[in-house]
A and B are shown apart, each in its own frame.
Chain A
């Protein structure tokens, strides 16, 4: 199919100005009023950012803003974490781009693989934030982040290495995803420690993977196949558990994290924990069993009716009392519990939206094939519904990320609370208040903006492919 590109009307600058700024008298008046306003505001902003602003409070406390009171001896853990996460991100990116290409090839459509550069370009706000950090770090004589340039260079290298996952042959596509998950878990545990209890996430991931790929084709009976799959899964889990038991090196738990690190990790942990709960609640609310439906609906509506801060207060003041005497949960754990319970209700509503948007015919087709209800749910309904809600889930993650600033109010030292530490230092008492706030705001903005762009892109792509 060949179609000629639509003709491009090249406007001369004068025509452009006339069309976009002075189309009618009303538009012209607005333009004339706005230009001086913009000039004044721009000038003031320029003065604030480059001339008058006393950025020393940020500059000298850059490490504090990033990792807060995290043990400085253990900084290498954070660096390893960043590199592992970047590696996981790169592998995921490469695998995803290869998977999209596979689908395009199957459908016989032309496709050009997305490059790393394009992805980084879409996240320009994060690049700007990194640039600000590097600028402060390089002009700071006290020494902020240890060799930040080295770290960024290593991260870029790791990202490019990870992206090579798109070269994997097609049958290893799932291996790409498995590697992504593995490096995410390892990256998390390089800080939190590889102690005995830490086998669970990796064990579950590999257990499920082993269950799915176990070579059981030569067994005739169906039940025997299931048994053999289970055996494979249990064996893999046992191996992983043993490895963890052998390594058993404790790390630094989340009670001792702070700064931007804590902000990012807490929101990620809460959304991961909230997802299964939210999925259950959504299914419960759509259930045909009245008791289950009523209980799920009540939970969702009550939680959605109160602000997050009341739940955080509950976590701080009540949760401790609700557990048997002697259990001692840290402030961060209680906050994570509150955020998880809160987010689960919103995730449930998002998933419910996805379930409702799925045409009834899909379920009915499954029933016509004589599939059992759980199979219909697992193989037909959920894969489609969950794929459709990815953009909304990213949106929910953004709002959770923004909401994590509420930990400020219950005195947990996250990104915003670091400011209070900075302003207790003798040099910065009651000075540079606007500067530190603007820095924190830019930090939040960079992440939220990058993610919102990504979610908009996902939404557009889903709409196109549907």
Chain B
């Protein structure tokens, strides 16, 4: 098209000019969203003012006015205070975040272990194993997590086969009087670590050790890449961390001691150790098993997705079965499995919000109780949503980092 012809083409009228339409469309969209939002917000403020509900966040420093279940003496990590009904609301929030994290953390571990076992079992050559794994997946995947949580909470852990607290089953470490495991229908106890002295030095030394360990990991990797010497970086890393832990423990003057769970004198309580109340047990086990059924399917799909030619090629190279899986099939299937698995972790963490059904004091349950106790709902819910959003963001961040590392680099 020549210069003159271009000039002769008149611009279309503005209502058909794509450049104008694009701007008009965006302005309209923003305007509509803004107006609806402003309408909702002004209604909110008007209504709250009318019924005299505060719109500030001052309530965070006021007293909580209720006792968190199973939190008679629980620590407000990382602050050295014990929670009680007079503690401010923000300390309650901290306890809630900690409990959400704990349930999510242990749930993720359980889900991963069970999920991998189930996923591999579904592909087993053994008919019985494969069928059992299929049965597991089809049962757990199709029942709402809330039903599973309530089932574990009430039908298993409280009204199930376990004894009452005063008659707890105790599993002792052989040769000593220390309880390795305590089981009753109220809470389970396992050995824990308790702090007996100033620990700041310990954590600082630990941080330094971790940094050193990471540096050594990278150094070993570089050595391997440059001269092909076996790197053994996992061994190196673990070794450095273990030695570092011991050093840190000694340098900081032994600030920790083992703590064993045991019944108190009046047999109404358990002292010491790491105690898991029935709500925590129900939530973690139920969510772990539920999510495991999803992870199992992911693992199975990812192994099936690796092209059969890869196994054949490995066979042609005379790799044995273990080598074939470890060096050929699994690295490729992991690349497929990791993103959806981390998504399942995200779902698990979000599902811990169901803990309120088994009175586990995670952030949702506490927010609900707190609103019931007259704290302003809008601010409480905003804080709760912000907490979940940051959990989600952190997990997606981890997902992105891992994804970038494991994905094939297109050349």
Contacts and interface: CB of A to CB of B under 8 A. Distances in A.
B5 to A, nearest CB: 20
Contact of B146 (A295, A306, A321, A406): A406
A261 B146 CA distance: 19
A30 B142 contact: no
A339 to B, nearest CB: 14
B129 A34 contact: yes
A124 B61 CA distance: 57
Interface stretch (A75-83, A134-142, A147-155, A440-448): A440-448
Contacts of B29: 289, 291-292, 295
Contacts of B26: 289-292
Given A27-B125, A317-B377, A323-B43, A307 B146 contact: no
A109 B150 CA distance: 52
Most-contacted residue by chain B among A317, A430, A444 (CB, 10 A): A317
Given A307-B388, A313-B381, A325 B147 contact: no
A310 B388 CA distance: 9
Interface in B24-59: 25-27, 29-30, 33, 40-41, 43-44, 46-48, 50
Interface string B312-355: 00000000000000000000000000000000000000110110
A317 B374 CA distance: 12
B7 interface: no
A282 B40 CA distance: 24
Most-contacted residue by chain B among A21, A322, A449, A452 (CB, 10 A): A322
Contacts of A34: 128-129, 132
A30 B353 contact: no
A310 B365 CA distance: 11
A305 B392 contact: yes
B129 A309 contact: no
Interface residues of A, number: 52
Most-contacted residue by chain A among B47, B128, B350 (CB, 10 A): B128
B305 interface: no
A306 B392 contact: yes
Contacts of B381: 310, 313-314, 317-318
A441 B143 contact: yes
B22 interface: yes
Contact of A318 (B22, B351, B378): B378
B47 A325 contact: yes
A247 interface: no
Nearest to A320: B47
A317 B41 CA distance: 15
B109 interface: no
Most-contacted residue by chain B among A23, A288, A321, A452 (CB, 10 A): A321
Nearest to B388: A306
B48 A321 contact: yes
A409 B30 contact: no
Interface string A335-374: 0000000000000000000000000000000000000000
A177 interface: no
Interface string B118-156: 000000111111001000001101111111101100110
A440 B40 contact: no
Contact of B22 (A289, A305, A314, A398): A289
A35 interface: yes
A9 B10 CA distance: 76
Interface in A290-315: 290-292, 295, 302, 304-307, 309-310, 313-314
Contacts of A27: 124-126, 129
Contacts of A309: 353-354, 356, 364
Contacts of B124: 27, 30
Interface of B is mostly: helix
B126 A20 contact: yes
A21 B128 contact: yes
Contacts of B393: 305
A405 B46 contact: no
A405 B388 contact: no
A440 B377 contact: no
A329 interface: no
B224 interface: no
A227 interface: no
A306 B385 contact: yes
A318 B44 contact: yes
Given A21-B128, A23-B125, A325 B146 contact: no
A317 B371 contact: yes
Most-contacted residue by chain A among B142, B154, B351 (CB, 10 A): B142
Contact of A437 (B43, B129, B150, B368): B150
A402 B154 contact: no
Contacts of A375: none
A306 B350 contact: yes
A20 B147 contact: no
Interface in B357-405: 357, 364, 367-368, 371, 377-378, 381, 384-385, 388-389, 392-393
B145 to A, nearest CB: 7
B371 to A, nearest CB: 6
A433 interface: yes
Contacts of B126: 20-21, 23, 27, 30-31
A454 interface: no
A313 B350 CA distance: 14
A21 B128 CA distance: 7
Given A322-B40, A433-B155, A307 B350 contact: yes
B203 interface: no
A38 interface: yes
B128 A30 contact: yes
A434 interface: yes
A459 to B, nearest CB: 12
B139 A445 contact: yes
Interface in B282-296: none
B142 A452 contact: yes
Interface in A276-295: 288-292, 295
B118 to A, nearest CB: 14
A448 B144 CA distance: 9
B351 A307 contact: yes
Contacts of A445: 139, 142-143
A449 B30 contact: no
Contacts of B127: 20-21
A324 interface: yes
B385 A310 contact: yes
Contacts of A288: 22
A21 B126 CA distance: 5
B159 interface: yes
A441 B139 CA distance: 9
Report the 5 A-B pairs with minimum CB-CB distance, sorted nearest first.
A317-B377, A20-B127, A305-B392, A448-B142, A291-B26
9 contacts: A34-B129, A295-B30, A307-B350, A309-B353, A313-B367, A317-B371, A324-B43, A444-B144, A448-B142
Given A23-B125, A434-B151, 11 more contacts: A291-B29, A292-B29, A309-B354, A310-B384, A313-B367, A313-B381, A318-B44, A325-B46, A405-B147, A448-B141, A452-B142
Interface of A: 20-21, 23, 27, 30-31, 34-35, 38, 288-292, 295, 302, 304-307, 309-310, 313-314, 317-318, 320-325, 398, 402-403, 405-406, 408-409, 416, 430, 433-434, 437-438, 440-441, 444-445, 448-449, 452
